[in-house]
Structure 1
Amino acid sequence: MAWRSCSVLLRLTGDELLRSSVRGGRLTHGFQQRCAFRKAAKKPEAKRAEEELVPTRIEPEKKNPTPLWEQLPPPSSSRGPPLSRLIKPMLFTVGFTGCSFGSAAIWQYESLKSRVQSYFDEVRADWLEKIRPQKRGDVRKEINQWWSSLSEGQRTVTGIIAANVVVFCCWRVPSMQRFMFKYFTANPASKTVCSPMLLSAFSHFSFFHMAANMYVLWSFSSSAVSMLGREQFMAVYMSAGVVSTFASYVCKMVTGRFGPSLGASGAIMTVLAAVCTKMPEAKLAIIFLPMFTFTAANALKAIVAMDTAGVVLGWKFFDHAAHLGGAAFGIWYIMFGHELIWKNREPFVKFWHELRTGGGPSGGGSNGPGGSI
């Protein structure tokens, strides 16, 4: 019956159907279907045999995702020798240090200029305070009294501590992890090398790291600010953060041990070294062991010796190179930097005064609040 129906179909369609259905003397698959001819189905055993012959695809093992701290770009050979990578950070260090001390000189000038007006404002405020009825439990008054009870150094570093706390809170936000890692950790192998030199000095990932650094800064703030003055202290502290990071860059490029660094330890080491150099006979003690006291000079020697051993032996728990850079900058500034930089700021202040007054006579001396050591 199959052949018969097929022959009738062939007679009805004629040569056109044959021409469209025959290719090279063989019937096409469509034509076989129409004529009710089908290929014999393959046996299931054959399919199983073919499936067994086909090699199974082995899925690669899923590796644990690498933490963000280990996703560091390797140093590229196209960047040139290590010296060329340090040129840009070195220029940034010199430029930022100059801008810091220049801004501090302008800040001191503006403070001197507004001191007279502030005096009359304080007299007027005291008079109004006397005639104004007192309020009990006034929160604002309590805050003002607490703020007035602080020393000038403690009030100065309060802003620094607040900035460190804000950055620490930003580290806790998951969506900001990559941004924080890029701009708030310093690494010479990273694409961004300049801005992290400053921002990493306000960055702490661990709460205990931040608490320890801020406690040391708070403890030495009164002595440092009374010795340098508020404006000069801020210039030294901001510059120390960049200088200590540059020292860390140099050490990492020389040793080839790249990795991210963060923390205010380098800048705080500058403050500690400056105080210990200026007052070597001052007595210091450890917070948990107050019964053991030692001189500031001996404490500085012990810290420098420990950090030197850390650099030589390759300890990785702390950035010992940044500590040494900060300590060296603090010692240098007390012995030479104050005379070379701060004592020679008068021409710049005079230029700023003439710029502000339109070429009028310059006023004020070089010794302002915190002008000399």
Structure 2
Amino acid sequence: MTDPNLEIASLLLDLSEVYRPTSRFWGYKNASRSIRRHPEFLSDLSDREILEIPGVGPASLRVVREYLDGGESGTVARIVGESGNLKEIEARCALRRNFLSAAMVRKVLSETKRGAVRREDYLGDFQMHSQGSDGADSIETLARGCMERGYRYMCVTDHSYGLPVAGGMKMDEMRAQHAEINKLNKKFGGEFRLFKGVEANLLQDGSLDMHPAELPEFDLVVASPHSSLRKTIDQTARMLAAVSTPGVHILGHPRGRMFNSRAGIVADWPAVFRRAAHNGVAIELDGDVSRQDLDYRVATAAKKAGCVFALDSDAHAANQLWMADYALAHARLAGIPSDRIINCWPAAEILQWARTFPRVVASKATKR
């Protein structure tokens, strides 16, 4: 699958590395970001329309035109080749694989793909952050943003107290948040449901930064790695431990990768997925534009292992809830059906699933 906007954005990032840390570095980097997030393929635009994209100037347009006309850029190849940094730039290029541009997400969501999840199947988002930790908006603002998108429920997953760098909340603060959620659920009168959640920090040994006795206070617990994400050592044991913890419902952004920055955790992922499937722990496809974790290729392996999935935005403001579309696009490319995605289940079925371990999937999800 060729994503021309992503390919062009990657070429511009290659150029930016040559010119680090001059103004050209920032110019090419900003153009790259704008192209990645532009909703239309550049091949469908005129040169004038391309130049109207924020940050794209004549120098970037030359690279765009070379790629669209010949599938590569002689300008980039020459400048990178003469820079003396070819190996470093190629290594960084590898950190952009299997991401999707906004234009590709739009295309994937618009296509008819038999058996794959559809946008209208998606009922709610299970990872987002409020002002309680490192988010920008109140819980009610997030809830109303979800309702505007047609959702029936959402889960607030502010960071746990073991991650102070992200404003992790103490348990007394979490309990106050739960009281607020109870009031909002009463206010919405059954038309919309808020689940009480937390994003717990996954420690190096695979345990959580929370006491096991605290986990039952939440409807859903997302366990996510936030450390040791650049190490090249095998971390299979860490991830196996995570999906073997009774209080964990979702393994959040499992690899911890970041676009153009880090590849993330090295592990025997098929083994991790088999364990997760056995225990009924959902594997997250995090739609954050810079994460896209898991991507569609790795998600395909998780599907083959029998996993169920959570497709989430990881929004830190109501105006970021759209990032769930990236998770949906990766799920569609992986061919994941809606009955294998907990965001497509009724609220009562989610709660029933969450209260058991190993978890029993009420639908026929694991048989597909």
TM-score, normalised relative to structure 2: 0.25
| Structure with the larger RCO, 1 or 2 (CA within 8 Å, 6+ apart) | 1
Structure with the higher helix share, 1 or 2: 1
* Higher-strand-fraction structure: 2
TM-score w.r.t. structure 1 length? 0.25
